Amino acid sequence: MALAVRDAVGMLKVGLELFVEAGPRAVAIGDEAGRPVFLDLKLHDIPETVERAVARASGLGVRMLTVHASGGPEMLRRAVERARKEGRGLELVAVTVLTSLDIDDLHAIGITEDVAAHAERLARVAWEQGVRAFVCSPHEAARLRSTLGPEATLITPGVRPAGEGGRDDQKRTMSAREAIEAGATWVVVGRPIRDAPDPLGVARDLAAEVDGALASRRMR
């Protein structure tokens, strides 16, 4: 699949399911396809454990690695410091609020603020510890872009081809164009490409949609 769509994508995401199945071998997909790897493990543990995991991930040569912003300041600080110490160019990405959650889910776990406010709160915590890349849904991208400024890298999952109705278990979705217009730097698309009869065709259409939105954004 990676080889089939590599000409239409800028990075390859290795997620938890594949990493559990294949381990570090999964990261070799990037070398084979000639694309950097976004290792999406969403680390959330005590600071010592996360710091050591960051070191191991850095040794694999991945471009980006996700950690949960809700892991707290100490976990985030040590993760960022370890990535810098390793000197392999690994960028830590803080996950704010999962796209599978909505305000009812937040209330169920004791969070009283709305999704956007909570995403912003978590992003600020991570920013203060040196994180400069963030995962948020497209619905929070404009707010985080306004709060964090142009230096922040915003990565938005929950992106669907324009006009597609299905959202699966993701509750806060947008089209690729809408995500870019809201301030996203990268859009993450998984199932719409993976499950399509023509994965490369869908990937190319999405890439064209992104390029068009970026061109419009630059002209403003």
Predicted confidence at residue 169, as pLDDT, reads 59
Predicted confidence at residue 216, as pLDDT, reads 87
Q: Are strands 159-160 and 174-175 parallel, antiparallel or unpaired?
A: parallel
Mean pLDDT to the nearest integer, 201-207: 95
pLDDT digits (tens, 9 = 90+) for 69-101: 999 999 999 999 999 999 999 999 999 999 999
Q: Which amino acids are annotated catalytic?
A: 42
pLDDT band at 219 (very low <50, low <70, confident <90, very high): confident
41 vs 54: CA distance, rounded Å: 11
pLDDT band at 166 (very low <50, low <70, confident <90, very high): low
| SS3 assignment for the chain | CHHHHHHHCCCEEEEHHHHHHHHHHHHHHHHHHCCCEEEEEEECCCHHHHHHHHHHHHHHCCCEEEEEHHHCHHHHHHHHHHHHHHCCCCEEEEECCCCCCCHHHHHHCCCCCCHHHHHHHHHHHHHHCCCCEEECCHHHHHHHHHHHCCCCEEEECCEECCCCCCCCCCCCCEEHHHHHHHCCCEECCCHHHHCCCCHHHHHHHHHHHHHHHHHHHHHC
Please check whether the domain covering 2-219 is classified as CATH 3.20.20.70. Answer: yes
Quick one: tokens of 3? Answer: 């080889």
pLDDT band at 163 (very low <50, low <70, confident <90, very high): low
Predicted confidence at residue 167, as pLDDT, reads 52
pLDDT digits (tens, 9 = 90+) for 29-75: 999 999 999 999 999 999 999 999 999 999 999 999 999 999 999 99
Predicted confidence at residue 168, as pLDDT, reads 57
**Structural domain boundaries in the chain:** 2-219
8 Å CB contact between 116 and 137:
no
Task: Name the pTM for this structure.
Answer: 0.92
Average the pLDDT over each of 41-50, 134-143, 159-168 and give the range with the smallest value.
159-168
